[in-house]
Structure 1
């Protein structure tokens, strides 16, 4: 038996099985990525059982419905002022501004709101006794605005 040293070529290298395999190799990753993406968007991440599919409009409306951090802080401090006293609320306002410098531009408005809430809760004389140099004199101007 004689063996040839020249490489032999196979006829029909592009048979149907090979073509199907190549097509699957190209299409399958795309299908898997798309199906995975769609599966993730259909998961109910919000915990709300009424709707399991989130749409772009739902996401946009939930962003606009979310409250600004300064509004949340103001409401927390007003509640704290009513439950404890204005001094505690002013201390926590100063700590919040020191911890989150982005709140500094809202400090005056929050302190003024605290001054007005203090007048409603404690009256003008007692509210003024809690005045501190937090956000300049905004608390005192809030007391004066609620008084006049």
Structure 2
């Protein structure tokens, strides 16, 4: 008798948690938590989400835009210094450093006209990407 009771106890110990989890999951999925939204509500929510995603820029894009504005207000040297500081503060931006520095090089040529004037600000920030951006504008 003792042996049979122990076997039943072990079986219950294995099966009972599975049964409880499954019944709880089924109970939660069958409860109507909210009313079903109409098609227009779903479309409106989708449109709002899409417009929010367009408005939110990636951090590297925000940094690039800010640095180009700084270049326009001050000079390319200040923007390159800020770029180096931003990459030092947030290392995840390092993978975008070269493209941002190239964009700064192009903006410097647009601001100063001749490429030789923009080259004066060249620094070893992100290798020679700034100089590459200046050269691309020739």
**TM-score scaled to structure 2, two decimals?**
0.64
Q: Could you say which residue in structure 1 is the equivalent of 2:123?
A: 132
Q: Residue 136 of structure 2 corresponds to which residue in structure 1?
A: 145
More helix by share: 2
Q: Which has the larger radius of gyration?
A: 1
Which residue does 1:92 correspond to in 2? 82
State the 1:64 CA deviation: 3.7
Residue 80 of structure 1 and its aligned partner are, at CA, apart by 0.7
Alignment correspondent of 2:16: none
Gaps of 5+ in 1: 1-33, 36-53
Work out the number of aligned pairs and report it: 99
SS at match of 1:55: helix
Higher relative contact order (CA 8 A, sep 6+): 2
Matches within 5 A, 1:1-148: 55=45, 57-122=47-112, 123-147=114-138
CA RMSD in angstroms comes to 2.1
Superposed structure 1 runs of 4+ greater than 6 Å apart: none
Note the residue ranges of structure 2 that are not aligned, 5 or more in a row. Answer: 1-32, 35-43
